[in-house]
A and B are shown apart, each in its own frame.
Chain A
Amino acid sequence: MKKLALLSAALISTLIISCGGETKTQEETIQSPIATGQESNAPVYDPKRGEGKFDESNVKIGPLNEAMAAKGVAIAGTKCTSCHKLTDEKLVGPGWKGVTTRKTPHWIMNFITNPDPMIDKDPEVQAQLELCLVRMPNQSLADEDARQILEFMRKNDSSK
């Protein structure tokens, strides 16, 4: 049944968006009083930033850091590349080529660490879901993991 719920969540997500509703789990309501407090005066979703803990103030981009990118390769090998190619070819999900030019660094880090709310809210992700039909899983990335994967994506985009 839970799997059916996932499926129906994917199918009815547009409905949810159009009603402005949120799929709020009991887990969140019980365990995160702070989060629920924020939801009562919920900020408008910012498609440039996404939703999550990252923004311009805490994601700084400098010259490409090779060591960081190398760590990103290893994490992506376990958690990402089953579904994403490094080219622009779609596999299960879209190819990674060019993602750092289309999206801001903090949007990418928010999306890969906090996919579920963004799948429900972000118009471009919604459009992508209609193509892919599989919701991107939350792969439980640590903040550091996300930053390293971002660096690997930057490296992937800087190569010819």
Chain B
Amino acid sequence: MKISKNSILATFALASLLLACKPKNTSNAVSGDAAAKAYVAPGKYDEFYNFVSGGFSGQMSVYGLPSGRLFRYIPVFSVDPEKGWGYNEETKPMLNTSHGFVPWDDLHHIELSQTKGEQNGKWAFANANNTPRLARIDLKTFRTAEIIELPNSGGNHSSPFGTENSEYIVAGTRFSVPGDNDNGDVPINSYKQNFKGHISFVSVAPETGEMKIAFQLRTPGVNFDLARAGKGKSHGWFFFSCYNTEQASTLLEVNASQRDKDFIMAVNWKKAEEYIKAGKGKKTPVKYAHNVYNESTQSATSKIEKEVLVLDIAEFKDICYFIPCPKSPHGCDVDPTGEYIVGSGKLAALIPVFSYDKIQKAIANKTYEGDYEGIPVIKYEAALYGEVKKPGLGPLHTEFDANGNAYTSFFVSSEIVKWNIKDLKVLDRAPTYYSVGHLCIPGGNTVKPWGKYLIAYNKITKDRYLPTGPELTQSAQIFDISGDKMQMILDFPTIGEPHYAQAAPAELIRNNGQLKIYKIAENKHPYKTNGEGEARVVREGKKVHVYMTSIRSHFAPDNIEGIKMGDEVYFHVTNLEQDWDVPHGFAIKGANNAELLIMPGETCTLKWTPDRTGIFPMYCTDFCSALHQEMQGYVRVSPAGSNVPLSFSLNKPVAENK
């Protein structure tokens, strides 16, 4: 929840008013053919994939549009015992940070990779709002492929927005803090002197997607909220909303809401790139983790990086410019042409629309009203294209269709407002249930919006679903926007609190080279078992490595003896299947971590430290065939000094088995 408590209170206070003057009940917001528009017949596919942030679940979920059906949730920043994410030996390094292993985070925003301003279906990026990180999810495997930590940062909220060829994904700190290399042991009320903002520009390798912090911009201490890259004519620029320009460090609800205007910060990143190329970046000692999953070895590695290049924007007069924007701007959205920048002051009662051309002219003519901590502040009127008057209360986010219309969410008045970008006239408004936050239109952030649907991700669910105790489901609502008027067609529940989401045509994602199996010949896992003939158990001191295979429906070996108290046992299970949709699971009694869920052709490792002697069953957890229930085995654990020899077998006649 990014909204002040005041706003929430206001919402509840307003609720009765809203109910009195807005729709009488929910039924009159839904018209007769809504069901048909959201209906996708059994066995048929949806038109769009919807990649939705999971908020405080730390995960990203994948839905179909327009059905709202949930296909999958992808573990990103939080452990997931179901998939072994963060529990198996292969993925533990993915959640490593400079603070050690961090098993949870708060995932707010999604950015799909782009080429020339259009979606390319390769990757989704996601931000961690607590321990600041940026993740890349591979859309061929629907798995998190890379996570990079962000030094000098508080929460990474102003992220993961990208440029039109995904040259850079940005990561702006929400909380300004003393830099990692500065003395941070300072009084909290010395914010103005000691706290700084940092915005990371993370480069993305065009082929592999590998991320690297190319440089950071060091800024005055403020809160960075959201951001969007320029596109088309404004490619080369980035726009960040900032609040708390009051530089308060306590009761921000009041103290960061004092000024009539905060800022949108315009960044000429091409210029910053030039300075970096010219060697102007200051090498700053820091510590941050860079975690990469290698699809060939099927294992992740975590490397602690020690240095980052920093440009202090106060020292370079032509990188950053502030544009005044009313009342704590939240959304900062750029229209498909790249000309219009929509600021949404979350406490404002109007929407300012800025003009890229006018901003350029104002910079050229130095039409400034002064400076803020040494950074020029452009005159509001010199940057302004116009204002949408009386659109609603509490504007937050804006997405776009392909016909020159903008759609802005209003948290306080709980509605979506459609307006025309050119004449700034309100065209339509639709209530949401309740208190909408982010919006998504397929391709609605790109140069080529697909339009058709608009999804509202709501902050409050209240009475929309059967109640489930104090905690209710989170929810989203789908609107058909193909006509002049928005039409609500479906509610659907979501995982975690949904913040931003993006959607892409089904064909773009289905035909991106998506994997069905891992080819076993290409599996270079160091503990792969290449067929049952190689299945074995190897003791290395106190460590015991079990090279195990699984196929419908047995493990090899499935009887293991000679494990002793004090041993650390590593089950390296290779799934020999080469058919789509045939994972095997692996679980053993008393394991203090989780299960393994092993895809066809994959090898996964479960570490198990037996805590007592005896016989321990192990079994396949994922129903695999008619004889799945027979897919099991036993491990015998003996006392530390026992002389039971290490042995392993499959289908060994009973008489020979000691």
Chain A interface residues (CB < 8 Å from chain B): 2-4, 6-7, 10-11, 26, 30, 77-79, 81-83, 91-92, 133-135, 137-141
Contacts and interface: CB of A to CB of B under 8 A. Distances in A.
A73 B579 CA distance: 20
B530 A83 contact: no
Given A133-B627, A134-B626, A134-B627, A92 B578 contact: no
A82 B549 CA distance: 9
Contact of A78 (B531, B582, B628): B531
B50 to A, nearest CB: 19
Nearest to A3: B623
15 contacts: A2-B581, A3-B625, A77-B532, A78-B531, A79-B576, A81-B531, A82-B532, A92-B552, A133-B625, A133-B626, A134-B627, A137-B582, A138-B579, A139-B578, A140-B578
Contact of B531 (A7, A79, A141): A79
Given A78-B531, A79-B531, A79-B578, A137 B551 contact: yes
Interface string B492-535: 00000000000000000000000001011100000000111110
Contacts of A6: 623-625
Contacts of B549: 82
B45 interface: yes
Nearest to A73: B533
B577 A137 contact: yes
A92 B626 contact: no
B518 to A, nearest CB: 10
Contact of B579 (A3, A7, A81, A139): A139
B554 interface: yes
Contacts of A137: 551-552, 577-579, 582
B24 interface: no
Nearest to B555: A82
B120 to A, nearest CB: 21
Given A78-B520, A137-B577, A139-B578, A10 B626 contact: yes
Contacts of A4: 623
Nearest to B507: A30
Interface string B527-571: 000111110000000000000010111101000000000000000
Interface in B577-591: 577-582
Contacts of B521: 78
B578 A138 contact: yes
B312 interface: no
A78 B43 contact: no
B575 to A, nearest CB: 11
B44 interface: yes
Interface in B454-488: none
Contacts of A139: 577-579
Contact of A82 (B45, B556, B582): B556
A77 B626 contact: no
B582 A81 contact: no
B246 interface: no
Given A4-B623, A26-B44, A135-B625, A77 B533 contact: yes
